[in-house]
Structure 1
Amino acid sequence: MDDTLYGTRDKRGDWKPNKLLQYPPVFIWPAKPVAFLKWFFGYPGYLMPWNVVYAVVATLLWLCATPSMETMKTLAPGWIAYLLVRNAVLVFLFFGAFHLRLYMQKKQGTSFKYNSKWPSKDNSAFLFSNQTVDNVIWTFASAVPLWTAFEVLTLWAFANGIIPYVDFAEHPIYCAIIMLLIPAFRDLHFYLVHRLIHWPPLYHAVHKLHHNNVNPGPWSGLAMHPVEHLLYFSGVLIHWIVPSNPIHALFHLTHAALAPAPGHAGFDKIVIGEEAGIDTHAYDHYLHHKFFECNYADGVIPLDQWFGTFHDGTKEAEDRMNKRFMERAKKYAEKQARRSGTPS
C-alpha cells in the first residue's frame, strides 16, 4: 500500500495525510441526514471500526470474564485481583499487538508513519531513558490498577443496588441509545479533563509526563501521571447518575482503556495486505502531541472548532495557532511589566 497516494513527506521524512481533518456531519445546519447516516454506519465512521470493537470486547468481558453480581456484592480480594489480572492481560494483548506489528516487527516500515523517527531510547525525560519502557511502566503500574479500581467500585455499586440499574431485556431501546452515546460522552469528558490539565500548574505537575511523548507510540496512550488517570477514568461515574446497565460501564471503561492504543499509534493506517489498511484516526491527536495546544478533543463534538483550538493539519491552522501563542506571550509580557513597574 503506497502511502504517497494518501499523503506527502517533508524534508525530514515526516508524513502527513492529504485529506484534511474535519468534523463529522453532526453539529451542522442545515442538517445533512444522508451524510450523517453514511458517516454513522459507514467505514470509517462512528461505529466502525473501533467503537464496534470496544463494544464487542466489553460485552464479551461481561458475559465471559466478569464475576457474578452475587459475588461482587462483597468487596473481596479474590475477584478484585481477578479483574486486575484480566485487565492487565487485555492491555498487554491489545497494546502489545500494535507495538509488535508496527514497532518491533516494523511490518510496514515508516509507511503512513507521521514522525519518521522511532521511540527514543536515550532520553532522560523517560524512566530508564527509554520511551517504551517508561510508557509500559506507567501503563501497568498506574493505568491498569486505577481503571480496575473504578470498575470494581462501579460493579460493586451495581450489585448492591446503590446506583440505578436498567435491564437490557426490559428497556432495549434505552440501553441501545446509552451504548451509542457513550463514545460521544467520552469525547466531552476527555475534552473537559484535557483542558483542565493543560492549566499550567497541573500541566507541569501532572500532564507533562504524558506530553514527554512528542513522538507517541501505542504504549504512550496510557502513559500518564496517576492523577491524570484518576481524572481520565472518572468519566464512568456518569453511570452512577444516569440509569445504566453494567455493560454500559464496562463499555465506557473498555473504550477509555483501549482507545489510546490506536489513538497514539503514530501511524495513519495499519497496512493489511497490498491494498488495504485500517484507519487509526490518530492524526488529530498526533498534532496535539506535536503542537501541545490544539485538538484537545478528537471525536464527534466540534469543541475545538467552537473554542478556536482546532488544527486541521494545514499551514493556515498552524499560523492561527502561532498567532494565539504570540498574543498570549504579549499579554504575559505586559502583565509582568506591570508587576515590575517597567514599560512593556
Structure 2
Amino acid sequence: MDDLIFGKRNKRGDWAPHQPIETSPLFVFPPRLMAILKWLPHYFFPWNTIFAASAVAYWVWIIPPMETMQTISIGWVGWLYAVNAICTFCFYGAFELYLYVLKCQENRFKYNGKFPAEQKSKAFWFESQNIDNMMRTFLSGVTIWTAIEVLMLWVYANGYAPWLTFKDHPWTLAIVALMVPIIHEFHFFCIHRLIHTPFLYEWVHSVHHNSVNPSPWSSLSMHPVEHLLYFGTVFYHLILPSNPILMLYQLHYAAFGAIPGHVGFDKVEISGDGLVDSHAYAHYLHHKYFEVNYGDALIPLDKWFGTWHDGSPEGEARMQQRYRERKEKLAIRKARMEVRGAAE
C-alpha cells in the first residue's frame, strides 16, 4: 500500500494526511442530514462496535452473578483483575506486535517516522518507553480500572444505582448507548483541560506526555491520579437511567478505546488493500504540540474554546498566533509587576 496516496512524508520521515481533520457533523447548525447519514457508519464501525461487543461478552461470560457481587471478596475481584489484565495484554499487545515489533507495515501511515524502541530516554523507567508504559498500564491502569469496575458492579448488585432492563426500556437504553462516546468525549475534554493546569501537569499529566511519540502501550501510561480521573467517566451511570452492560461499555470505551488515539498510525493495513482508520491524528497532534486538541473530533469542544488544530497550515498558523498572544500577555504582566515592585 502506497501511503503517499493519502498523505505526505517530510525529510524526517514523519507522515501526515493530505486532508485536514474534520469534526463530526453532529453539532453543526443548521443540521446537515446527509452528512450525518454518511458519517454514521464511521461512528459505529469498527471501534464503537468492538467496545460494545466486549461489554456484552463480559456480561455474558465474565461478570459473576449479582448475588456474589453484593459482597466484595478477593475471589471475584481477583478474577476481574486477571481478565482485565489478560484482555489488555492481548488487545494492546496485538497492536504492539503487529505494528511495532514485527513492523508488518513498516512506517507506512506512521505519524512519527521513528519507533520508540529506537530511542532511550531518562524520562522513562529503565530508560525505555515500552517498559515504562507497560508497567504503568498494569501496575496502575488495570488496577484502578478494576477497582472502579468492582465498585460500580457492587453498586448495581445492591440496588444503589438506576438499573433499567432492555426488555422494559429498550429505547431509553438505546439512547444512553448512543450517548456513551459523547459522554466519554465530554468527560475526557474536561479532565484533560484540568490536568493541563500548571500544577497538575507537572505532577500528574507529564507522565503521560513523556510519550511524545506514542505507541499502543502509551494509551494507559498515566499517573494514578489521571487514571482515577480518566476512568471516572463511568460514574455518570450512577445517575443516568442505565444498565450494567452500558456501564461496562462506558468503561471499555475508556480502557480499550485509548488504543486508537495512541496507535501512532493513521491507518492500519489489513488483508489485501484493506485499511482501518485509527482517527488518531487529532490526539497525535496533542502529544506533539501539548496545547491543542484536548478532545477528539466527536464534539467540537476545541473549536469552541479556540484550541483546535486540524493538521492544516491554517491550523498551524492559528496555534502559533495563540502562542504569540499568550507570550505578549505574559510579557505585559511581567512588566506591570516590575513597575509595581519598583514603585514600592
For 2:318 and 2:290, the matched residues in 1 are separated by 14
* Letter of the 2:29 counterpart: W
Report if the CA contact (8 A) 1:270-1:278 is conserved: yes
Partner of 1:6: 6
Structure 1: gaps spanning 5 or more residues: none
What is the aligned counterpart of 1:200 among 198, 201, 216?
A: 198
Report if the CA contact (8 A) 2:172-2:241 is conserved: no
For 2:4 and 2:115, the matched residues in 1 are separated by 20
What is the aligned counterpart of 2:337 among 324, 333, 339?
A: 339
Report if the CA contact (8 A) 1:184-1:299 is conserved: no
For 2:3 and 2:320, the matched residues in 1 are separated by 29
Give the CA deviation at 1:49.
1.0
Structure 2: gaps spanning 5 or more residues: none
**TM-score (normalizing by structure 2):** 0.97
For 1:53 and 1:115, the matched residues in 2 are separated by 27
Give the CA deviation at 1:38.
1.8
Partner of 1:17: 17
Partner of 1:57: 54
Write out aligned runs for 1:1-344 (5 A).
Answer: 1-40=1-40, 42=41, 45-120=42-117, 121-341=119-339
Once superposed, which parts of structure 1, at least 4 consecutive aligned residues long, lie more than 2 Å away? 336-343
- What whole-Å deviation, never above 9, does each CA across 1:169-225 have from its counterpart, x for those lacking one? 111111111111101110000000000001111111100110111100011010000
- What whole-Å deviation, never above 9, does each CA across 1:79-118 have from its counterpart, x for those lacking one? 0111111100110010000000000000000000000011
Percent identity between matched residues is 50
* Letter of the 2:69 counterpart: M
* Letter of the 1:161 counterpart: G
- What whole-Å deviation, never above 9, does each CA across 1:299-343 have from its counterpart, x for those lacking one? 411101111111010111111111111211221222222223379
Report if the CA contact (8 A) 2:8-2:16 is conserved: yes
- Equivalenced residues, count: 340
SS at match of 2:16: strand
SS at match of 1:26: helix
For 2:338 and 2:85, the matched residues in 1 are separated by 53
Report if the CA contact (8 A) 2:268-2:278 is conserved: yes
Q: CA RMSD in A?
A: 1.2
- What whole-Å deviation, never above 9, does each CA across 1:228-259 have from its counterpart, x for those lacking one? 00100111110111121100110000110001
* Letter of the 1:261 counterpart: I
For 1:25 and 1:177, the matched residues in 2 are separated by 18
* Letter of the 1:221 counterpart: S
**TM-score (normalizing by structure 1):** 0.97
Give the CA deviation at 1:273.
2.7
Greater helix proportion: 2
Report if the CA contact (8 A) 1:271-1:278 is conserved: yes
For 1:35 and 1:122, the matched residues in 2 are separated by 45
